[in-house]
Amino acid sequence: MTLSAAISKYIYIAINHTFTDDYFIKYAQLERVDQIRDIQHPIIREALRLVEVGRGIEIVSIADIPAGTGLGSSGAFAVGLLHALHAYKRDHVLPQLVAEEACHIEIDVLGRPVGKQDQYIAAFGGINCFEFERDGKVRASALKISTDVLHQLEEHLLLFFVGFARDSDAVLEDQDRRSVDGDIEMLENLQAVKDLGYAAKQALERGDTSEFAKTMHQHWLLKKERSIAVSNAKIDRCYEIARKNGALGGKLVGEGGGGFLLLYAENKDAVRQALNSEGLAEVFFTFDQDGSAVIGRS
Task: Give the relative orientation of helices 95-103 and 117-124 as an angle to the nearest 10 degrees.
Answer: 150
Same domain, 46 and 123: yes
Task: Give the relative orientation of helices 147-156 and 209-226 as an angle to the nearest 10 degrees.
Answer: 50
The pLDDT score that the predictor gives to residue 186 is 82
Same domain, 94 and 199: no
The Cα–Cα gap between 27 and 34 comes to: 18
Task: Give which of 278, 8, 6, 285 is closest to 162, Cα–Cα.
Answer: 278
Residue 218: inside a domain: yes
Averages of pLDDT over runs of 10 residues in the chain (298 residues) are 93 96 96 98 98 97 88 94 97 96 97 92 96 90 95 97 72 67 81 92 96 96 86 94 97 82 96 97 96 84
The pLDDT score that the predictor gives to residue 142 is 93
Same domain, 114 and 200: no
Q: Which domain holds residue 122?
A: 2-142
The pLDDT score that the predictor gives to residue 166 is 60
pLDDT in tens, 42-56: 999 999 999 999 999
Give the DSSP per-residue string, 274-293.
Answer: HHHHTTPEE----B-SS-S-
Element (H, E) at 130: strand 127-132
pLDDT in tens, 238-257: 999 999 999 999 999 876 67
Residue 57: inside a domain: yes
Residue 288: inside a domain: no
Residue 106: inside a domain: yes
Domain containing residue 235: CATH number: 3.30.70.890
Residue 292: inside a domain: no
The Cα–Cα gap between 132 and 141 comes to: 12
Residue 289: inside a domain: no
Same domain, 156 and 62: no
Helices (H), the chain: 42-50, 73-88, 95-103, 117-124, 147-156, 168-180, 184-205, 209-226, 233-244, 268-277
The pLDDT score that the predictor gives to residue 128 is 95
